[in-house]
Amino acid sequence: MSKPIVAIVGRPNVGKSTLFNMMAGERIAIVKDTPGVTRDRIYADVSWLKYNFTIMDTGGIEPETKNQMLRNMREQAEMAIEMADVVMFVVDVKQGVVDADYKVADMLRKADKKVVLVVNKVDSFEKMMPDVYEFYNLGIGDPHPVSSIGKLGIGDMLDEVTALFPEEPDEEEDERPRVAIVGKPNVGKSSIINKLLGENRVIVSDIAGTTRDAIDTTITWEDKEYVFIDTAGLRRKNKIKEEIERYSILRTVSAVERADVVVLVIDATEGVTEQDAKIAGIAHDRGRGMIIVVNKWDAVEKDNHSVKEYTNRIRNVLSFMPYAEILFISAKTGQRLPKLFDVLEVVIQNHQLRIATGVLNDILTEAVAMQQPPSDKGRRLKIYYMTQVSVKPPAFVLFVNDKKLMHFSYTRYLENKLREAFGFSGTSLKFYIRERKEK
């Protein structure tokens, strides 16, 4: 299941970005005491108690304006509201209820969304609560006083937000593999799905950004069903001309959250780019199975070394994911496209592969015998045993005498030994180090 999405909305200059930064734990959004500073919607993953969710910061909503920038920001916020599970409607206690607040409240009522009314800048609950009660006039629910700068009332507010999250569906409800097709605009994502379907179900155009929303398509191959999630492409920020393009970025993140395997489509005629690396990083950070598809291979002049040289360039730019499978195809001609399902099956199996603890520790014993663990100031690392704790991606816990002695290079060495034994192609591996005191 994808993480719940919480949109932070309100008119300009009520402290939305300050609240967002505090919840995200770092300074991500620009904070300045000028309306309209936050023009891009920015997202961050947040944890509160047992809940993990994604928050979106938005530009301020000016319900009635002729300024094109402010109109774009309003449309952007409306789209954030549309895709959110819960909306945090932020108002300013020091300015009180103003006409624009009523209009934003009307907008939220029409959207029929779950709303938490957040009254910001309440620096003293004792002195300012009478001012907070004024916001009942909005008719949008109980006002929750907070101070994003002073970090007051945040816990109670988050309790209210998380209480409104949708219930998690039964995980056995749909066991079909979910495959997210991601990449920059106009690299052929929709063309790949249409070729696999044998029909033009998804709009295909040379105009970048034609596919606005994530679209789920069921494709059957050799009696097995797969759910393909086609997404709007990500493009460089300095090339973003429409607010709706910014909306597509979160769509991609959301699609990756829902997927088991991510297929990153690269344009063979352009080569692998920094933007491709950023998109791949979204999938890598979330531990998804990974396939890199080089599309439009028919449009490239080739010789006997082309595949090897192109593969090396991909490995160089995407050095953080050497495990990713690479496939060269042409959606236009259908060249090697059926091979995608063979690779998918390999990655799906590796992504959910579970190794018995006894077998893991046989490999660990052999690895330690071949290369001694590191030491520091006469104290050597001891690894007592290893066990697998989860899949999708496979995750392992190493119990050691001292976590500080476990150098990342030795963890990588052990990962390589596991890959030599079991392959694990197409999936990252996670390692957690735990101390266990010697008896």
Q: What is the mean pLDDT of the segment spanning 395-412?
A: 94
Average pLDDT for the chain = 84
Hey, where are the domains in the chain?
A: 5-163, 175-351, 357-435
What DSSP character marks residue 212? -
Query: For residue 25, what pLDDT is reported?
Result: 79
The answer to whether residues 229 and 216 touch, using CB atoms and an 8 Å cutoff, is: yes
Same fold, 5-163 and 357-435: no
Q: What is the mean pLDDT of the segment spanning 167-191?
A: 78
The DSSP annotation for 99-140 comes to HHHHHHHHHHHHHT-EEEEEEE----HHHHHHHHHGGGGG-S
From CA 328, how far away is CA 173, in angstroms rounded? 34
CATH T-level assignment (fold) for domain 357-435: GMP Synthetase; Chain A, domain 3 (3.30.300)
Query: For residue 248, what pLDDT is reported?
Result: 52
Q: What is the mean pLDDT of the segment spanning 107-123?
A: 93
Place of tokens 């290079």: 409
Beta bridge partners of 220: 225
pTM above 0.75, yes or no: no
Residues 219-242 have pLDDT tens digits of 888 889 999 987 744 444 444 444
Right CATH for 175-351 from 3.40.50.300, 3.30.565.10, 3.90.1300.10, 3.40.190.10: 3.40.50.300
The pLDDT-based confidence of 243 (bands split at 50, 70, 90) is: very low
Query: For residue 324, what pLDDT is reported?
Result: 97
Of 31-35, 168-172, 309-313, 386-390, give the lowest mean pLDDT range. 31-35
Q: What is the mean pLDDT of the segment spanning 291-299?
A: 95
The pLDDT-based confidence of 204 (bands split at 50, 70, 90) is: very low
Residue of 404, 428, 413, 321 lying closest to 370 (CA atoms): 413
Residues 362-381 have pLDDT tens digits of 999 999 999 999 998 888 99
Query: For residue 36, what pLDDT is reported?
Result: 42
Query: For residue 34, what pLDDT is reported?
Result: 42
Q: Which residue has the higher pLDDT, 197 or 14?
A: 14
Q: What is the mean pLDDT of the segment spanning 294-299?
A: 94
Query: For residue 33, what pLDDT is reported?
Result: 47
Question: Residue 203: pLDDT above 60?
Answer: no
From CA 223, how far away is CA 240, in angstroms rounded? 41
Query: For residue 44, what pLDDT is reported?
Result: 78
Q: Which DSSP helix (H) or strand (E) runs through 274?
A: helix 274-285
Query: For residue 74, what pLDDT is reported?
Result: 66
Q: What is the mean pLDDT of the segment spanning 329-348?
A: 94
The pLDDT-based confidence of 66 (bands split at 50, 70, 90) is: low
Give CATH for domain 5-163: 3.40.50.300
What DSSP character marks residue 301? -
Structure token digits, residue 324: 């990713």
The pLDDT-based confidence of 2 (bands split at 50, 70, 90) is: low
The answer to whether residues 180 and 216 touch, using CB atoms and an 8 Å cutoff, is: no
Provide, rounded to the nearest whole percent, the portion of the chain with pLDDT above 90: 54
The pLDDT-based confidence of 437 (bands split at 50, 70, 90) is: low
The pLDDT-based confidence of 126 (bands split at 50, 70, 90) is: confident
Question: Residue 151: pLDDT above 60?
Answer: yes
Place of tokens 């190493």: 398
From CA 63, how far away is CA 73, in angstroms rounded? 10
